[in-house]
Amino acid sequence: MNNTQPGLSPFTSILSLIKTAKDRIIKTVNTEIIDLYWQIGKEVSEKTKDGGWGKSVVEELSNQITANLGNMRGFSPQNIWRMKQFYETYKDSQILSTVLRELSWSNNLLVMSRAKNEEERGFYIKLAIDEKYSYRELERQFDAVRYERSAISETKSKKLPAKQDIKDRFLDNYVLDFLNLPEPHYESTLQKAIISNMKKFLLEIGKDFSFVSEQFRVQVGNSDFFIDLLFYHRGLSCLVAFELKTTSFKPDYIGKMNFYLEALDRDHKKDNENPSVGLILCADKDDEVVEYALQRNLSPILVAEYTAKLPDKKLLQNKLREFME
């Protein structure tokens, strides 16, 4: 008798066991590699500090590794110097020196080379671990100035009424350069571009989002209404409605989103799920207008803007500095 659910392979459970074990093995191997590089970096750092080791000695070490252990990858003189830098960068940070073992060596090198201080390094390490970023995905977050954007979002969100755990999941500004949007463009063009590039869009908004539908229909009375994009957020355990606007934010957008959230909660939210959340994504917004519009609003609604090209890092750094001051 076949007890397999319709549409599922009879081997699903075994395949899942193998995949889980494979992932665990890869993680264990990576941890051992990073720990090995840490120990080598520590020893090289101590030897060079005493003045006994220099460039020629490290080159000889690399040659000895090859001669005694075969042509092993990762032990070139350049990479051994990186191990030294790796150890010296994190040796005084007990927290980071522990979690960085959850990153691949290539991702560790990327963080080490592009992050400018311990706070920024910690941010990208946590982000890469939480989102399980590949090297290219993490590199894009640096290019898209994710650290500065997240810091600005956190500063601005303090004035908004939504719960902190909800605000923590969203940014104030999203970078959608991968959509290759024409200028000017319409809301329908923006929506179609997002649908066509959904994988990249999910990388920008967060991997905890699962896409549900475009133009999701809600029926109220005898009328049909359509939500531009509907997602489900696993961390928040709720539906998330996206409204796309290619113009500046207007306060009356809030009323429409409130209507959508009420319809979702009454007719589509499951009993074990939290109240639905709304995100109004605009081409531009005045922060003071947004604050006023949301101040007495009871529904969990956030307003963010998007840019169709990579932001200027110096401009964002100056903006962040102004907020901090």
Per residue in 105-119, is it b (16+ CB within 10 Å) or e — as a string? bebbbbbbebbeeee
Nearest in space to 143 (alpha carbons), one of 200, 73, 86, 214: 200
- 182 Cβ neighbours under 8 A, 6+ residues apart: 189
pLDDT digits (tens, 9 = 90+) for 67-86: 888 777 889 999 999 999 99
- Give residue 313's identity as a one-letter amino acid code: K
pLDDT score of 292: 95
Judge contact between 264 and 241, C-beta under 8 A: yes
Give the C-alpha separation, 204 to 296, whole Å. Answer: 29
pLDDT score of 323: 73
pLDDT score of 4: 47
pLDDT score of 158: 85
Q: Which stretches in the chain have pLDDT values below 70?
A: 1-9, 325
